[in-house]
Structure 1
Amino acid sequence: MATVTTEFVNPPQNVAFCHASTIAYSHGHLVAAWLAGSKEAANDVGVWVARLDGSQWSAPVRVADGLSPDGKAMTVINPILFSPKRGPLMLFYRRGKLPDDWHPLRMTSLDGGATWSKPDTLRPNISGPAKDKPVELTNGIVIAGSSTEYGGWKIHFERSKDGGNTWDVVYPPVGPRPVQAIQPAILDHGQGKLQALVRTKSGFVFSTKSRDWGKTWSVLAPLDIPNSNSGLDAVTLNDGRDLIVTNPLPYVEGRWDRHKLSVFISADRRTYRNVLDLENEANQEFSYPAVIQSPDGMVHITYTWKKVHIKHVVLDPKRIH
């Protein structure tokens, strides 16, 4: 079995809703963040953080909320942790009620997530990462997968040449049939070759590729991985294979079927094998995975477990054949 350990990041919190986790490795340990509050999109939803010191997760700490500078209570959306090679750990999230009024914010931590700066607003026309971690390439360029959800779902990419402090926007071309797509997960295939996998309403995961360090991208095309309109994440492993975590279920308009969460592997970037079901329980939700590979080679996955916990699974990729 590829599974090394499984555990809950957060103990039973005094909240009814828990979702949208993210994970990073910083200062020699893992850091996780997620949303928690009374219900999704409620004004009391905040961003919580815990750190894995040794073998135990620290008690969750609320580090951000939806309070605007004028004191108005709003909700928060999709925290994303990013640990650059140089510089502080970053936490991106959005504040606001409706997709056309989301305000992207960024906080930083110099001590691996123990303490955080006050939030800074990203400059106009920058959305920040939509759900999944930015990727730092070998030439130092950072690519974030971004998207907007007003006036139709659209993806774009944001590139940074200064470690994630300032960004430029890149739009992929729209094909003859526009695809409703959001939340790109970026795979780094080396030497400037990138692939982004996206959530869609078209029944499958779609993909776009770049050969020039993310300056230009191809038209979106479907992969042979079902997608039920649910978030996914992916990582290119040290051994060159791509590992994807997703809900491989058919899309049914008006329904949210996320009862099965699975791990796929690709060795050739064309064919994808389901190698492990993390969860499979009818009428439950296991969703919004985040995945990284830590310096020791282990794969760390966090995800929403029935909307009440964040689950952490450790896999040994050498045991995945």
Structure 2
Amino acid sequence: MKLIMEKCPTDMCHASTLLKLDDEKFLIAWFGGTKEGNEDVAIWIARGNEDYFEKPAILAQSDEAHWNPVLFRINESKIIIFYKVGNEISKWRTMYRISEDNGESFGEEKELVKDDFGGRGPVRNKPIRLASGRILAPGSTESGIWKAFTDCSDDDGVTWKKSSEVEIRQLEYIEGERTVDKKDSSIPVSEQSFYGRGVIQPTLWESNPNEVHMLLRSTEGKIYRSDSQDGGRTWTDAYATELPNNNSGIDMIRAENGRLFLVYNPIGVNWGERTPISLAVSKDGGESWEKLRDLSSGDGEFAYPAIIQDEEFIYITYTYKRKNIAFWKIKK
């Protein structure tokens, strides 16, 4: 494990995303500032490898809070970075920038879906490209009952069409009531995050052409799942898996041999501790899981993972005590 910064340039950093640029270099992005949700929080990026990362630089900043960058490669040279902008999570907007030079520079900021408030495109985890060529971005909204969805693009990210919504049916939530009192949780998230109930922040995989699945963060002490048989246009209701969840981010990939690798906090308490952070594998399409190892444990927050792969290795980043970003390279 490597920490990518000698010293974080901001009071806190969180919610990393990573992309492999070439055999020797990665691009990592995250949000950082004085405190999650504050107006000075910006999108930061750093380039490097398992031995050395360059000094971080600001990619996007304004007089509003920035959140949850997501990197995705369109083709060999074209990369897109999505991120949220807005002080209220329930009304944030999705912005994006495009790099035409393999991540060396990024163009002007644009809005993904004009006049959208609530968040289109990927909310925290990376999109996937289906066998059909369609790009599927995992999204969600946080207003009252939390719901997930996918955004579909059949023109390489130029236009997007929202799928049916995914929710836990018959879930009750009283408007204005916290799911957990903030004073009872040590997790340093924005206070508005403690309102609402349901599933958010899906992570996706395709098992067969047009057969797509998502695992979801939830408020219910378990990771939930939903399935689609039509390339992500419509989805089943969310249903619980055997995996515990502490209402914190998860991410996964599907390897070429069909194995699924998941990074998560194995804590089954709503707003529970974000330690340890662990890597698990499924060899049966997500029906059962085996924990391979804890990546970090002990006091502190180890959370919000991102995971990608190449032919030989998987690569993982996650928040390390809100003071750094951890980077792993693991043989498959």
TM-score w.r.t. length of structure 2: 0.87
The residue matched to 2:253 in structure 1 has which SS? strand
Native 8 Å contact 2:2 2:50 kept in 1: no
RMSD: 1.7
Corresponding position of 1:3: none
Native 8 Å contact 1:86 1:163 kept in 2: no
Match of 2:305 among 272, 275, 289: 289
The residue matched to 1:153 in structure 2 has which SS? strand
Corresponding position of 2:189: none
Deviations 1:84-133 (A, max 9, x none): 23661011001100123211100111222221111101124461211000
Q: How many angstroms apart in 2 are the aligned matches of 1:24 and 1:173?
A: 27
Q: How many angstroms apart in 2 are the aligned matches of 1:313 and 1:297?
A: 13
Aligned letter for 1:231? G
Q: How many angstroms apart in 2 are the aligned matches of 1:199 and 1:54?
A: 29
Match of 1:18 among 8, 13, 22: 13
Q: How many angstroms apart in 2 are the aligned matches of 1:30 and 1:150?
A: 35
Deviations 1:22-61 (A, max 9, x none): 0112355321101111111121111111122584222211
Q: How many angstroms apart in 1 are the aligned matches of 2:211 and 2:140?
A: 21
Q: How many angstroms apart in 2 are the aligned matches of 1:187 and 1:25?
A: 19
Corresponding position of 1:310: 325
- Which deviates the most, 212-221 or 129-138? 212-221
Q: What is the Cα deviation at residue 10 of structure 1?
A: 2.2
2:136 maps to 1:120: no
Corresponding position of 1:8: 3
Q: What is the Cα deviation at residue 316 of structure 1?
A: 0.7
Native 8 Å contact 2:50 2:327 kept in 1: no
Q: How many angstroms apart in 2 are the aligned matches of 1:239 and 1:276?
A: 20
**1:175–1:286: structure 2 CA closer, same or farther, 3 Å change rule?**
closer
Q: How many angstroms apart in 2 are the aligned matches of 1:256 and 1:94?
A: 25
Once the two structures are superposed, the pairs formed by residues 135-146 of structure 1 within 5 Å of their partners are 135-146=128-139
Aligned letter for 1:153? W
The percentage of aligned residue pairs carrying the same residue is: 29
Q: What is the Cα deviation at residue 175 of structure 1?
A: 5.5
Q: How many angstroms apart in 1 are the aligned matches of 2:242 and 2:168?
A: 19
Once the two structures are superposed, the pairs formed by residues 198-213 of structure 1 within 5 Å of their partners are 198-213=216-231
The alignment of Structure 1 onto Structure 2 pairs a total of residues equal to 302
Q: How many angstroms apart in 1 are the aligned matches of 2:30 and 2:55?
A: 13
Deviations 1:183-204 (A, max 9, x none): 0000121312111000000110
Q: What is the Cα deviation at residue 256 of structure 1?
A: 4.2
Q: How many angstroms apart in 1 are the aligned matches of 2:323 and 2:44?
A: 13
Residue segments in structure 1 that go unaligned for 5+ positions in a row: 1-5, 68-72
Aligned letter for 1:306? K
Residue segments in structure 2 that go unaligned for 5+ positions in a row: 172-196
Deviations 1:69-89 (A, max 9, x none): xxxx11101000011236610
2:151 maps to 1:158: yes
